[in-house]
Amino acid sequence: MLAALLAAGTWLLIASFKGWPVSTTHSIVGSIVGFAIVGVGMDAVYWGKLGKIVMSWVTSPLLAGAISYLLFRSIQKVILDTEKSLENARKYVPYYVFLVGFVLALVTIMKGLKHVGLDLSTSESVSAALVCGVLTTLLGKYLVSRVVFDPNADRDFHYANVEKIFGALMVLTACAMAFAHGSNDVANAIGPLAAINSIVSTGELSQTSPLPIWILFVGGVGIVLGLAMYGRKVIETVGSKITELTPSRGFCCTLSAASTVVLASGLGLPISTTHTMVGAVLGVGMARGISALNLGVIRSIFMSWVVTLPIGAGLAIVFFFLLKGIFS
């Protein structure tokens, strides 16, 4: 497990320094498979389970891309492509904000709260999600009310004031995406650490061992420090180099990606948050036409995805034998 952590961490640091949005999930799963093959044997890997995980890496960006495509097309139809775009934005945006609160609250309540001992019925879960959706809508209206509109701004860019509204709402969807990211990628990163703790505490590896709070704290601190130190280049790649993003397009991306990731986390699928977010950005770009996409950047991103799993496995094998030689 230490070899897996070292391998995944090494590759992620290299990729982040280069600005490649590679998958933490890819890296850690590939690393665990690599050391398991050489340390225990081919039979130690549950290949059927691995196949389902790999399939989720394909389906999650497709699902997020489809959702973001439909979201942005609806925004184009009811707001952007109308004569009274600002008036329609004020009219229809609350419905999109309600969707943010309702979807994320419903999935979290139905799938996430069971792990902390709160198991609600379907009707209770829907009711609670509706309340969360209404509260989120009120918060969204408050944020919009604080936006200062400039009539002259629309002369340079017709949708300048409309985009200001979506800029305020992206505060909500960015928080939702951060929540989704923490529910998925941090869990994958600290999985090996949890396994190590289980072995040290009980003398055996158990899937039902309790997870100490300090391990979650380590994962939380690590993701914050990583974002502060190495996040800028990856943010630039996803945010500006794949396709041009405006607040309305970013709103669709973060909402669709967050919904997909939280749903998958609730189902126990270790999907790639990175793949999902890139898929959502591609979906928004496709809504504007293939010419809106930077195909060269997309090609390099896909190549980094393909090599991540074998590189993670190879590095884990190297670190495994290195550690075995040092401590054996």
For 18-64, the pLDDT digits (tens) are 887 787 778 888 888 888 888 788 887 888 877 877 777 778 888 88
Q: Is the pLDDT of residue 6 over 70?
A: yes
pLDDT digits (tens, 9 = 90+) for 108-146: 776 566 656 667 777 887 888 899 889 988 887 887 777
| Mean of the per-residue pLDDT values of the chain | 80
294 phi/psi in degrees, rounded to 5 = -90, 95
DSSP 290: G
CB burial readout 187-201, b (16+ within 10 A) else e: bbbbbbbbbebbeee
284: number of CA atoms within 13 Å, CB side? 28
CA distance 180 to 165: 23
Residue 104 has pLDDT above 70, yes or no: yes
Sole residue written with tokens 């590939």:
30
pLDDT of 304: 80
Whether the predicted pLDDT of 236 surpasses 80: no
Average pLDDT over residues 89-112: 78
Residue 91 contacts residue 114 (beta carbons within 8 Å): no
User: Residue 217 pLDDT more than 70?
Assistant: yes
- What local confidence, expressed as pLDDT, does residue 41 receive? 82
Q: Where are the domains of the chain?
A: 1-45+309-328, 46-293
Q: Which two tokens stand for residue 174?
A: 């960015």
The token pair that represents 89 in the structure block: 């934005």
First-to-last CA distance in the chain?
A: 16
Confidence class of residue 319 from pLDDT cuts 50, 70 and 90? very high
User: Strand, helix or coil at 203?
Assistant: coil
Q: Which residue has the tokens 């190590």?
A: 196
Residue 317 pLDDT > 70: yes
**Residues sharing a CB contact under 8 Å with residue 49, sequence separation 6 or more, in sequence order:** none
What pLDDT is recorded for position 10? 92
Query: What confidence score (pLDDT) does residue 252 get?
Result: 86
Whether residue 153 has pLDDT greater than 70: no
pLDDT score of 209 more than 70:
no
Burial per residue of 53-62, b for 16 or more beta-carbon CB atoms within 10 angstroms, e otherwise: beebbebbbe
- Is pLDDT of 89 > 80? yes
Q: How many CB atoms lie within 10 A of CB 180?
A: 26
What is the pTM (predicted TM-score) of this model? 0.75
